[in-house]
Structure 1
Amino acid sequence: MDSRPADPMSTATTASTAATIRHRSVAPEEADIRLDRWFRRHFPRLTQGALQKMLRTGQVRVDGRRAEASTRLRPGQQIRIPPLPEGPPTEAQRGAPRPVSPEDARLLERMVLYRDDSVIALNKPYGLAVQGGPGLTRHLDAMLGALRFGHAERPRLVHRLDRDTSGVLLLARGAAAASKLAAAFRGRDAEKTYWAVVVGRPSPESGRIDLPLAKQPGPRGERTTPAEGGTRAITDYRVLDAAQRRAAWLELRPLTGRTHQLRVHCARGLGTPILGDGKYGGAAAQIEGLPPLLHLHARALRLPHPEGGMLEVAAPLPPHMEQTFAFLGFDRPRAPPPRRTPR
């Protein structure tokens, strides 16, 4: 306890400032959201520049620690909120979802792999961002109102995929389902299976990559790199097929969920970058005659269903990976139908 006497000249100012500092908990359905997007959602009048200044000066903190705009949040964390601009936001600042065009509504409905009263599973296409960001106005989160299917609430994101990663993406239809699904992802009860086409052929053809990772700033944006003092990242892998030493089809099972984990583990852990991954593989990630697009697909997801039992969902390959599989002579197995089974 601080027993120093208060400065009478500053008492009023200190009391006024303290009165406007707030703390708010991260909700279960906000798991894995970026800190700047969390502020944009709750305080739409706050500009990105003002937030960056508050972060640099330590006015905004997460669980008492300094944080960055890109910090991913976990449910239950405490956000320190300094005094912010007062007054109601404008219509644009409120961030109210724009009406979804009929074309986008039809696109989203075609993406649905499975739905019930608690869950919707989508097959997210390559190139569609899950959440917004600077200069990004078209993203899945802004269009979820088209997937109510008679519910009063729009579905909620409980995890995410990178813009250029295709495949199974799960949505929750309500706060209770979101809380349970987010807990499954945090507690590693969700079994995730990815398919990737890599340039080269790993040796050995199956194993575990245990390579810690850290985020590093760079002239072209943030990158994830191997680092001795980084956060532990683990991926199990196996070769499902190969075209001599030219390329291989891998099954990847991440046991942790670090940013760009699979891309870095393939490029730096195995020495076989994912086809089309210019960020982590450069020119070595290209094969002449094949699409220069990222060949990473969230093939399947198995996790506890919010209402009991286990839910298993698989997604068919995106068109560019179908083309590559045909070119390389790989089998193209059909995605099994979704199913919900007892534990």
Structure 2
Amino acid sequence: MAAHRNAAGWRDRQHHRPRARGQRYRFHQASARLAAVQPRGRGHHPRGRAFRAAPRPLAPARAVRRPFAIAYEDEHLLVVDKAAGLVVHPASGHRQGTLAQLLAGSAAGGESQRAGIVHRLDRDTSGLLVVARSEDVHRMLQHALRRRLIQREYLALVQGTPPARSGTIDAPIGRDAQLRTRMIVGGSRPREARTHFTLELALAAASLLRVRLETGRTHQIRVHLSAIGHPVCGDPEYGTSGLFGLERQFLHSARLAFDHPVTHARVDVSSPLPEDLARALRRAEEGR
């Protein structure tokens, strides 16, 4: 079968090409509603290029070996590129060696004891998160997050191919009453949750999605994609572990964009796939 590079730079095999644009799909699964939407125009998303930001960018991550890099930094905030396996905040079973503690013990963290981390990533999710260097900036960024003014985009390799090129999953998420560490659609004390996705690449057994969070519930992307029948590859909790040689879920926080709370300039930071996920994607393309 013929293969070519699409506008995003990914190969798309003809026999696994998704249905034509403009078609609409609705289906119900585990109380989740998937509504296909018209994809936005070409060039909307950056494709692996270096971040751009109006505040002054600093040099790459410092030479000290640590499980994160500093992707952007100024006197008010920084954007951290977190490695998989690093816990963000201390919790039961993870009291030491967290990102918050590492930042608090360095000059990067600023005056906040919690290092001003504005949002979380799961331990085995890699990529970008924003950190405030003062309590005032932390409050302003949290306010922007609540107002959904911080754009958060992820790359996720999922099993199968969704029936539409893009869509919205609108389904509340709560805790599983039987297993408190697990989240489900519905569940105990569910809260509003909304996830948008766009198909980047369709393969024989998997698809690469660009996912945008409108809300930020615990495990939201993993729960929502599993609920519509396309779990994240390598996810031991909501999908199948070990696919394509993965040792963790294929989920990467690839882009953060927001208006700077102090200077009001646009901050737009991108992170490429780490090597373990890039290697898994190559294996998925090769069908092994």
**TM-score when normalising by structure 1:** 0.60
Determine if the alignment matches structure 1 residue 111 to structure 2 residue 69. Answer: yes
1:143 aligns with 2:98: no
* Alignment of 1:324 onto 2:280: yes
Q: Counterparts of 1:79-158 in structure 2 under 5 Å?
A: 106-108=64-66, 111-136=69-94, 137-148=96-107, 155-158=115-118
Conserved 8 A contact 1:193-1:299: yes
Contact conserved, 1:205 with 1:238, CA < 8 A, in 2? Answer: yes
- Partners of 1:256 and 1:120 in 2: how far apart? 22
Alpha-carbon separation, structure 2, partners of 1:159 and 1:150:
15
**Which letter does structure 2 place at the counterpart of 1:192?**
R
Q: Which residue in 2 is equivalent to 1:226?
A: 185
Shift of 1:192: 0.7
- In our comparison, the structure showing a higher alpha carbon Rg is 1
After TM superposition, the structure 1 = structure 2 runs for residues 166-205 of structure 1, keeping only pairs within 5 Å, are 166-205=126-165
**Matches of 1:138 and 1:217 in 2, distance apart?**
30
Q: Secondary structure at the match of 2:238?
A: helix
Corresponding pairs, count: 221
Q: Which amino acid aligns with 2:256?
A: L
Please give the secondary structure, in 1, of the residue aligned with 2:245. coil
Q: 1:264 to 1:109 in 2, by over 3 A?
A: closer
Match of 1:273 among 218, 231, 238: 231
Stretch moving more, 149-158 or 182-191 = 149-158
* Structure 1 CA distance for aligned equivalents of residues 145 and 110 of structure 2: 24
Return the letter of the residue paired with 2:245. Answer: L
Q: Secondary structure at the match of 1:230?
A: strand
Alpha-carbon distance between aligned partners in 1 of 2:120 and 2:146, rounded to the nearest angstrom: 13
Structure 1 residues 243 and 181, CA gap change in structure 2 (3 angstroms): same
Equivalent position SS for 1:275? coil
Structure 1: where are the runs of 5+ without partners? 1-103, 331-343
Match of 1:300 in 2: 255
Whole-angstrom distance in 1 between the partners of 2:63 and 2:128? 18
2:201 maps to amino acid: D
Two-structure CA RMSD over aligned residues (Å)? 2.4
Measured after TM superposition, the shift of residue 105 of structure 1 is 8.2
CA distance in 1, matches of 2:86, 2:63: 14
2-side partners of 1:233 and 1:153: how far apart? 29
Shift of 1:292: 3.1
| CA drift at 1:266 | 0.6
Question: Where do 5+ consecutive residues of structure 2 fail to align?
Answer: 1-61
1:130 maps to a residue whose letter is: V
Relative contact order, higher structure (CA 8 A, sep 6+): 2
The answer on whether the counterparts of 2:155 and 2:208 sit within 8 Å (CA) in structure 1 is yes
Residues 306 and 108 of structure 1: is their aligned pair in 2 closer, same or farther, counting only changes over 3 Å? Answer: farther
Query: Which residue pairs with 2:7 in the alignment?
Result: none
- Higher mean C-alpha displacement, 133-142 vs 192-201: 133-142
TM-score, normalisation: structure 2: 0.70
Which of residues 265, 281, 285 in structure 2 aligns to 1:309?
265
Relative to structure 1, is the Cα distance of residues 291 and 116 closer, same or farther in structure 2, using a 3 angstrom cutoff? same
Query: 2:141 is paired with a residue of what secondary structure?
Result: helix
User: Tell me, what secondary structure is at the counterpart of 2:154?
Assistant: strand
1:291 counterpart letter in structure 2: L
More helix per residue: 1
Q: In the alignment, which residue of structure 1 is the partner of 2:217?
A: 258
Alpha-carbon distance in structure 2 between the residues aligned to 1:119 and 1:140? 15
Q: Counterpart of 2:41? A: none
